[in-house]
Amino acid sequence: MSDIAGNIILLGSQLPSTVRLVAVSKMKPVSDIIEAYNAGQKYFGENRVQELLNKKDLLPKDIIWHLIGHLQSNKVKYIVPFIGMIQSVDSYKLLVIINSEALKIEKVVDCLLQIHIATEETKFGFSMDELCENLKSYNVLNLKNVRICGVMGMATFTSDTNKVKKEFGYLRDCFYSLKDGYFGSSIYFKELSMGMSGDYELALKEGSTMIRIGSLIFGQRK
């Protein structure tokens, strides 16, 4: 068995059946993705649109692709036809554009709202204040061609586990307050996407329903 297949199987055996594993294949070749796919992995995450477009035509059609990186408005139309989920919705404007592109092809696109939980400035995402302002001003449930399925966040890159745990706990609290405040009537609002190779165990303890794992499956990226 290849390392990649072994890693997929090992991780899968450690996860509760309610938690979804998204294999993050950014910067990794198609051959690596095939190995993971052959080990039973169906969900893959990429963070760049061009890279995703290049790869997906070379790969099995039943792969479910998640976009996990910042999405530029002008690229939305390229991914809407096939994307399984856009985890990185970080502005209301982007949500409106996804909705209108999805409407054109009569599709409904699953989305997560990315919330900024880290102290690093470089990570994208809404602040909770900004998000609540948006949700008060606009009725996102009126955008019929996007389906808000929950939230996504990235913790600070640090060895301070207490800090990471707090950030995940904060994201979980955000999830529940959004659910209570705005999405109570939606059966789809149920995903809490948090946890990467270095911190997924902490994320699971804090209630993650979806982990995004790259290097632990495919090895370090260059």
Ligand X SMILES: *Cc1c(COP(=O)(O)O)cnc(C)c1O
100 neighbors 108 (Cβ within 8 angstroms)? no
Out of 47, 91, 99, 209, which residue is the one contacting ligand X (CB under 6 A)? 47
3-state SS class at 126: strand
Q: Which of residues 15-44 bind ligand X (CB under 6 A)?
A: 24, 26
* CA separation for the pair 16, 78 (Å, rounded): 34
* Residues forming beta bridges with residue 46, ordered by sequence position: 67
Q: Which is nearer to ligand X, 95 or 196 (CB)?
A: 196
69 in contact with ligand X (CB under 6 A): yes
- Least Å distance, CB 59 to ligand X, is 19
Size of the site for ligand X (CB under 6 A): 14
51 in contact with ligand X (CB under 6 A): no
Closest CA to 70 of 152, 131, 185: 152
Closest CA to 210 of 23, 34, 31: 23
Q: Which of residues 184-213 bind ligand X (CB under 6 A)?
A: 196-198, 212-213
- Least Å distance, CB 70 to ligand X, is 9
Q: Which two tokens stand for residue 178?
A: 């959004």
- Least Å distance, CB 198 to ligand X, is 6
Burial (CB < 10 A; 0-12, 13-18, 19+), residue 94, is buried
156 in contact with ligand X (CB under 6 A): no
190 neighbors 150 (Cβ within 8 angstroms)? yes
- Least Å distance, CB 216 to ligand X, is 6
- Least Å distance, CB 221 to ligand X, is 7
Q: Which is nearer to ligand X, 190 or 221 (CB)?
A: 221
193 neighbors 152 (Cβ within 8 angstroms)? yes
Out of 154, 155, 178, 202, which residue is the one contacting ligand X (CB under 6 A)? 154
Give the pairing of strands 109-114 and 191-193: unpaired
Residues at the interface with ligand X (CB under 6 A) = 24, 26, 47, 68-69, 154, 196-198, 212-216
